Amino acid sequence: MSDYRPPVRDMAFVLDTIVDLDDLTALEPYSHVDRDMTAGILDEAGRFFGEVFAPTNRVGDEVGAQYADGSVRTPDEFKPVWNKLTEAGWTAVTGSPDFGGHGFPKAIGIAVSEMMTTGNLAFSLAPMLTGSAISLLERHGDDELRDHYLAKLISCEWTGTMVLTEPEAGSDVGALRTKAEPNDDGTWRINGTKIFITWGDHDLADNIIHLVLARTPGAPPGTKGISMFLIPKFLLDDDGNPAERNTVETVSIEHKLGIHGSPTCVLSFEDATGYLVGEENKGMRYMFTMMNQARLEVGLEGLAVAERAYQQAAAYAKDRKQGRAPGATETSPIIDHADVRRMLMTMKSLTEAMRSLVYDAVASEDRALHGTDETTRLAADQRLALLTPVAKAWCTDRGVDVASLGVQVHGGMGFIEETGAAQHYRDARITPIYEGTNGIQAIDLVTRKLPLEDGAVVNAYLDEVHDTVEALGNHPEFSSMRDELSAALDTVRKATERLAGAEDIQATLAAATPYLEMFGYLAGGYYLARQALAALPESNDPWMASKIATADFYASHLLPKVHGFAPSVGADASLVFSVPDEHFGTAR
């Protein structure tokens, strides 16, 4: 039995109110999609991921991926579920119809991905990384590579990996040293050792397609001299089937805090045969094209682990009886205690805010790809660029917070591994780190995204928030929410202006994370307010009334955090740099 029930109605509500799915599916490539079809997909996915996929989560943690004799073995429960997953086509929802995909909008794909990720975060990384490989090949692979690999990746008969990191090249990818030298037949010989390769080896699929960053002879230093290679675990025979083993060795896997079901591999390439993707020295540029997508998917992981932790805590709080709440005549379920309920409201409202943020960003990606005109597409692309680091960092930091609250709601039982709440706390912790640490996201936001179009992109988004403030003003019952959102918007506007005017790059960098935090909390309040506005006409429906109550809670309890970050944005960088190195940590 799974303890995860996909919140299909919540997802559909966000697709309706935040994404505006009717508007999106009016776009040409999505004209085959309608409301009924979407509802059907969500329901069917909800059953599959709740009943079939999610039950693998505990065993994935407890048994984990195992390494022996050069190979990775996944828990026994994974393979049959993987087969059902791929056979049902759940990994191909957004894939190109030219290669067997279903061609749905990414905004619908993200809802399915949410269920997969909440069902089993560690397991979901295999299709997630495969999706990144698909994106790269779709955009940058030549016809031959696309023909040979794309359909098998879209169906997840084969999986893909992203092979970037080396021991001395983590956040600084440009420092990598793996070498690629040309063979006479147009292929390349790759040599080097790579670390932190998620699902770098496993026993689920017939082949594993590595997309590897390496340097060719005479390449310029840094990120400008990096090329991308496709290196299959098994080379293909003339019929395109996996045949000879390529010289990619799995050296070891890591012993990690969480996501035990996901093998994190050290891979050694020893004269491995690779195929150049696109042109030489453009590897980093290509990586950036799929980076928005990958970062949004990690943002989604923050939401997913939060949703799982929240559902588990809510179920426990309804079941566990302890003490008497004021006015109660017998022992109360702990959900009746105000402080426990406050924690659950925090978890609920943050999770729902995250869902809106991630889905909204993904919808911008759809519109950037398929908007009706160039101006619309560019605006959507820039909006996506702005929201991506926020969605990645804010949602993953909040995912850690919510998972931590989930442990707290369980009290002493939360600290016992068998309860399962601790797994979410452990799993969540990787998400602020990988796919660009949250510090890097914040730096991306303040140094690259805020300056877009001289600030017009961020201002357009803040104007959206302003429109919602105005809309709230039309309803007396939302006056408190309006005031809080308006005040938070004002604080973020001022901080944005201070950063735009900052001359000291160090001050900007030191303010990056506090700024991203305030932006994220504002965005959360904005989306929940839009949900409240959408729910208002139907507020006789208790479910809709709860949406309004959730937005009210957030506006009063969480949105004001925005103001706490204000003094550190635009502050003198010396506040961060005045303590000399030797006084950190070991002063006696």
Q: Of residues 319-348, which lie at the interface with its own copies (CB under 8 A)?
A: 321-323, 326, 331, 335, 337-345, 348
Smallest distance, Å, CB 198 to its own copies? 11
Per CB under 8 A, 573 contacts its own copies: yes
477 is an active site residue: no
| DSSP assignment letter at 19 | I
Residues 124-143 within binding reach of its own copies (CB under 8 A): none
Contact set for its own copies, span 239-278 (CB under 8 A): 254-258
What are the DSSP calls for 165-201, one per residue?
A: -BTTBSS-GGG---EEEE-TTS-EEEEEEEEEEET-S
Considering only residues 382 to 401 of the shown chain, the ones binding its own copies according to CB under 8 A are 400
Binding string, residues 468-497; x marks residues near its own copies by CB under 8 A: ----------------x-------------
Distance CA 408, CA 344 (A): 10
Question: Which positions from 544 through 563 interact with its own copies, judged by CB under 8 A?
Answer: 545-546, 549-550, 552-553, 556-557, 560-563
Smallest separation (angstroms) from its own copies to the CB of 322: 5
Stretch that binds its own copies, among 132-140, 213-221, 239-247, 408-416 (CB under 8 A): 408-416
Report residue 308 CA to chain centroid gap: 15
Instruction: Please report whether residue 412 would count as binding its own copies according to CB under 8 A.
Output: yes
Q: For its own copies, give the closer residue by CB, 131 or 420.
A: 420
Query: Which DSSP state fits 415?
Result: G
With contacts defined by CB under 8 A, name the span among 120-128, 180-188, 290-298, 512-520 that binds its own copies: 512-520
| CB nearer its own copies, residue 63 or residue 243 | 63
Question: Per CB under 8 A, does 571 bind its own copies?
Answer: yes
Q: How far apart are CA 92 and CA 551, in angstroms?
A: 34
Using CB under 8 A, pick the residue from 411, 451, 455, 473 that binds its own copies: 411
Backbone angles phi and psi of 90, in degrees to 5: -70, -15
Around Cβ 570, how many Cβ atoms within 10 Å?
Answer: 22
The region, left, alpha or beta by phi > 0 then psi within -120 to 50, assigned to residue 435 is: left
Contact call for residue 576 and its own copies (CB under 8 A): yes
CB atoms within 10 A of CB 184: 5
State which of residues 425, 461, 478, 515 lies at the interface with its own copies (CB under 8 A). 425
Instruction: For its own copies, give the closer residue by CB, 217 or 585.
Output: 585
Whether residue 349 contacts residue 549, with contact meaning beta carbons closer than 8 Å, is answered with: no
Distance CA 458, CA 500 (A): 11
Sites for its own copies among residues 172-201 (CB under 8 A): 172, 175, 196
Tokens 């050069």 -> residue? 70
Candidate ranges 107-115, 163-171, 280-288, 458-466; the one touching its own copies (CB under 8 A): 163-171
Angle between helices 505-535 and 479-501 in degrees, nearest 10: 160
Compute how many other C-beta atoms are within 10 angstroms of the C-beta atom of residue 564.
13
CB closer to its own copies out of 7 and 101: 7
Hey, which residues between 518 and 547 contact its own copies (CB under 8 A)? 542-543, 545-546
Q: Which of 435, 453, 470, 538 is catalytic?
A: 435
Q: What are phi and psi of 120, to 5 degrees?
A: -160, 95
Taking the complex as a whole, how short is the minimal distance between the CB of residue 437 and its own copies, in angstroms? 6
CA distance to 125, 300, 426, 429, 541, per residue, from 121 (Å):
7, 10, 11, 12, 33
Torsion angles phi and psi, residue 195, rounded to 5:
-120, 170
- CA 519, 520, 523 angle in degrees (round to 5)? 85
Which one of the spans 110-118, 204-212, 274-282, 570-578 is the region binding its own copies (CB under 8 A)? 570-578
Verify binding: residue 514, its own copies, rule CB under 8 A: yes
CA nearest to 201, candidates 191, 213, 209: 209
Shortest distance, position 475 Cβ to its own copies, whole Å: 16
Q: Among residue numbers 432 through 451, which ones bind its own copies (CB under 8 A)? A: 432-434, 437-439, 442-443
Whether residue 372 contacts residue 29, with contact meaning beta carbons closer than 8 Å, is answered with no
Q: Looking at residue 255, what DSSP letter applies?
A: -
Interface positions, 51-110, toward its own copies (CB under 8 A): none
Strand 158-163 relative to strand 207-214, pairing: parallel
Query: For residues 21 and 35, is the Cβ–Cβ distance under 8 A?
Result: yes
Q: Does 506 bind its own copies (CB under 8 A)?
A: yes
Q: Which of 150, 164, 265, 566 binds its own copies (CB under 8 A)?
A: 566
Q: What are phi and psi of 215, to 5 degrees?
A: -105, 135
Sign of CA dihedral 265, 270, 273, 274: positive
Site string for its own copies, 345-364 (x = CB under 8 A): x--x----------------
Helix (H, G, I), strand (E, B) or coil at 219: coil
The residue (of 246 and 431) whose beta carbon lies closer to its own copies is 431
Site for its own copies in 16-55 (CB under 8 A): 46
Among 38, 132, 311, 531, binds its own copies (CB under 8 A): 311
In 3D space, the residue among 547, 549, 554 whose CA is nearest the CA of residue 531 turns out to be 547
Site string for its own copies, 211-230 (x = CB under 8 A): --------------------
Counting residues that bind its own copies (by CB under 8 A) gives 108
How far apart (Å, rounded) are the C-alpha atoms in residues 475 and 469? 11
Q: Which is nearer to its own copies, 34 or 415 (CB)?
A: 415
Q: Identify the CA nearest to 206 among candidates 260, 139, 266, 157.
A: 157
**Choices 154-162, 285-293, 503-511, 522-530; region in contact with its own copies by CB under 8 A:** 503-511
Q: Please tell me whether residue 501 binds its own copies under the rule CB under 8 A.
A: no
With binding defined as CB under 8 A, does residue 310 bind its own copies?
A: yes
Active site residues: 435
